[in-house]
Structure 1
Amino acid sequence: MEKPNRKAMIKSLAISILINGVLPFIIYTLLTTYAHVSDLVALLATGVPSLIDSIVGIIRHRRIDFLAGIVLFGIVVSLIFISLGGSARLYLIRESFLTGAYGVACVVSLFFPKPIGFYTGRYFVAGNDPKRIEGFNAMWQYPQFRTMIRMQTTFWGVGTILEAVLRGYMAFTMPIPQFLAVSPIVNWGIIGAIIVVSIFYMRGWKRKYDGTMGPQEKSEQTA
């Protein structure tokens, strides 16, 4: 498995904070202060940077990326929700409906033969490469690999449920400008914590199993 590029990750995080945190706060403040539009209209406008970023990503890669698909799906769901008479406060936590649903799905999938973590992990490791997908699928035969996938699914399931609950509480207790400023920090703080826990767990797992198979299988193969 290739190691992630730290500079690329930092750059991606900075861009995400700008698009999903800084720009929405500026747009909302300008529209409500100087254009005197309603909170709901201003909040709808804050989704424009994310929409543009997703469209640019689709054009650049000539396909709907996993994350871009989530953003677009969230925007579509939000527009449908608003058209049915949703409130501005509920619109604030539109992403949390998705992350919360993902978290619940992760926890529920632990009771199935292959949890959601297997499929999301395969996407990020193998992409659309048939050989990598085949290699990733073959790893499922090892008990220690299955345990690792279920642990990662648990981390992300519990973490994203916590994120959804916390942001939901903030959305209904904080002033909207304050929520727009703090929400991305909370979101990335929780996601970052999940990533750190996952990385440390993976390091220990790799030291024990060399990232491929358990000690018993390795000894049998080299005997």
Structure 2
Amino acid sequence: MGQKIKRALPKLLINIIIPALLYYLLTRHTKLSHIEVLIISGIPSTIFTIYNFIFNRRADFMGIIPIFGFIIGIISEVVAYSTNNEQLFLLKKALFTCAFALLHFITLIPIKIKSFEMRPLQFYIAKSSGFELRGLTEDEPIPERWERYWKSYHLFRQMFYVLTAIWGFGILIDVVLHVIIVYSTPFNEAVIINDIVLYSWLGFLTLTTIFYIKFVVRVRAKKLIEERRKLLLLMLLMLVKNYIKVYATCLLQI
């Protein structure tokens, strides 16, 4: 636990504390516009994101999604600054969450082209998290284990469909709340309120996911033997952990 806290402190410092301090100082002691202040405040986290991508880049969903969020954030900043649109600048997180929600819904469509078969987004995130499902043999490759579980267990497939739908609709609701706050409250208040609502809603979705997992394990998975129930619970809890990590990382980098 101590090591995890030590690893989290630099991210907390660079992505939250330093930007908040810069925003406060620049707002109080300079005549810069709101957009200019927010752009300067975001420089530390931007540098940190680029550094992470260069030295820790990954080619899976866990690595691609944060970069996708970062790109959306940069584009919205450029457009907002060139048009001097403060509301658009505040909507950059909503643009990412909206795209992320749509991606959830798209992956729910049962698309099948030749050997390609669309899977729910939650499945891809869980698969890229590095969790090792139990194999038929110790030598069975991890990707083949995931494919076997997907094709063999209805409950396994159903869970990922439900979780993908929960997060898709949940994130979409956050987008609506974000837009309402931006256009109904003063700029300085919207900056603070949006983050409070965003992470509170993320916490609510996390709790909803955990309760759903417990419900499935206790009620829907009675036919599974005890060993598989424990394995299922462990796997889904790891899914929640990695999903929160990916989503929170994206939002911190935008």
TMscore range, shorter length? 0.7 to 0.9
Amino acid at match of 1:97: L
1:121 aligns with 2:129: no
Q: Could you report, residue by residue, the CA deviation over 1:132-161 in whole angstroms, capped at 9, with x for unpaired residues?
A: 333223221121111100111011101111
CA distance in 2, matches of 1:18, 1:172: 30
TM-score scaled by length of structure 2: 0.68
CA RMSD of aligned residues (A): 3.1
Partner of 1:58: 53
Partner of 2:76: 78
1:155 aligns with 2:160: no
Partner of 2:205: 194
1:139 aligns with 2:149: yes
CA gap of 1:187–1:176, structure 2 versus 1, over 3 A, is same
CA gap of 1:200–1:18, structure 2 versus 1, over 3 A, is farther
Partner of 1:217: none
Deviation at 1:11, TM superposition (A): 7.0
Query: Which one has more relative contact order, counting CA pairs under 8 Å at least 6 apart?
Result: 2
Deviation at 1:105, TM superposition (A): 2.6
Q: Could you report, residue by residue, the CA deviation over 1:54-89 in whole angstroms, capped at 9, with x for unpaired residues?
A: 133234425473454134223332244236526111
1:43–1:88 Cα contact (<8 Å) kept: no
1:101 aligns with 2:111: no
Deviation at 1:200, TM superposition (A): 2.1
Partner of 2:136: none
State how many pairs are aligned: 206
TM-score scaled by length of structure 1: 0.76
Percent of aligned positions that are identical: 23
CA gap of 1:7–1:174, structure 2 versus 1, over 3 A, is farther
CA distance in 1, matches of 2:185, 2:17: 18
CA distance in 2, matches of 1:88, 1:73: 19
Amino acid at match of 1:195: T
Aligned equivalent of 2:89, options 72, 88, 91: 91
Q: Could you report, residue by residue, the CA deviation over 1:34-73 in whole angstroms, capped at 9, with x for unpaired residues?
A: 1210111112123223212313323442547345413422
Partner of 1:167: 178
| Structure 2, gaps ≥5 residues long | 111-117, 133-139, 233-254
CA distance in 2, matches of 1:20, 1:75: 14
